[in-house]
Amino acid sequence: MFSSNCTLQQRNFQVILPLKDKSCLSKLQMDDIADAIFPPASLPLVERLECKVQQLMAELQETNQQLCHEKVLRQQAEIALKQEKQLAEHREYFISMASHEFRIPLNIISLSTSLLKRHRHHWTEEKKLQYLQRLETAIEQMRYLMDKFLTLDKAEVGKLNFEPETFNLIQFCQDILAELDLCQNHHSFTFVCQDDCEQVCADKKLLQPILMNLLSNAIKYSPVGSTVDLILSSEDKKMIFQIKDSGIGIPAADQPRLFEPFYRGGNTGNIPGNGLGLALVQKLVDLHHGQITVTSEVSVGTTFTIILPC
């Protein structure tokens, strides 16, 4: 066995340590060895080293916090930049599609006005009235498009406020159906209220275009003479609207993109439309913190279900 002699001058005795067996040392002997290696005179140096280490650790922690803060700021800047880029791309696409949609009624107005000027002296009053009606229809179409574009744009940038108020929902629905009934005479409506929904709290100015768009679509894509159902119910402080039609239906492949701006189903054919209505409905439902779902089968019909807090 190898051994090492260590003379402790301060204690005036020798300690022989077996290198492979230190378990035989008592606590007193260990203290003596520690005093020999780190005598009391060296303690201030140790304390200074400890203070320096603590100072460096504090500086390191502060630097780390600054780096974390800078990382968060950089991530926030990247997110803001990405959102700004997406908004710019959306506006560019929005303007492009708006120009296309407005071109059709503008062409009708331009052509009808030109023909009226050219032939006003020898056209019959009936012929003139026909072109004046075309002008009126085109202007109304432009007003309708403008309202949709402005409302959708406000919703996109967060400038459309949610302002709930208490009102009679049953009367509200009946008024909407009466207004639609005046505008057409090829479809009928049924209104069913399954629960007590007279007094609710919602935003009337947002709810009105939700129902108008869905009911108008139900008319547009349903055969002449068919019936459109509006079913109203409530559950757990939520109002539930169901709009049912027996129209052309929506292909399953089109349903995931149904609420994208300007998107239309592949089976709409020559039925007029711009793909803005459902995109607007989705935004207005979101402002109500509600949800909208659709079930549809081609050549059978479509049901939209809207659930809104009340």
Q: What is the pLDDT of residue 1?
A: 41
- What's the whole-number average pLDDT of the chain? 83
Mean pLDDT, range 30-46, rounded to an integer: 56
Question: What one-character DSSP code corresponds to residue 236?
Answer: S
pLDDT band at 276 (very low <50, low <70, confident <90, very high): confident
Q: What is the pLDDT of residue 17?
A: 45
Task: Inform me whether the pLDDT recorded for 41 exceeds 70.
Answer: no
Taking the alpha carbons at both ends of the chain, their separation in whole angstroms is 89
Mean pLDDT, range 7-26, rounded to an integer: 45
Q: Which of 49-58, 109-118, 300-309 has the lowest mean pLDDT?
A: 49-58
Task: Inform me whether the pLDDT recorded for 66 exceeds 70.
Answer: yes
Phi, psi of 26 (to 5 degrees): -85, 165
Task: Inform me whether the pLDDT recorded for 10 exceeds 80.
Answer: no
DSSP H or E segment with residue 302: strand 301-309
DSSP H or E segment with residue 287: helix 277-287
DSSP H or E segment with residue 18: strand 13-18
pLDDT tens readout for residues 196-225: 888 899 999 999 999 999 999 999 999 999
Question: What one-character DSSP code corresponds to residue 197?
Answer: -
Task: Give domain limits for the chain.
Answer: 165-265+274-309
User: What pTM value is reported for the model?
Assistant: 0.62
pLDDT tens readout for residues 258-273: 998 888 889 998 888 8
Residue range 165-265+274-309 in CATH 3.30.565.10: yes
Q: What is the pLDDT of residue 36?
A: 52
Give every CB contact of residue 120 below 8 A, 6+ residues apart in sequence.
128
Task: Inform me whether the pLDDT recorded for 8 exceeds 70.
Answer: no
**Regarding beta strands 13-18 and 3-8, do their DSSP bridges make them parallel or antiparallel, or are they unpaired?**
antiparallel
pLDDT band at 309 (very low <50, low <70, confident <90, very high): very high
Cα–Cα distance measured from residue 95 to residue 149, given in angstroms and rounded to the nearest whole number: 10
Paired with 304 in beta bridges are 243, 294
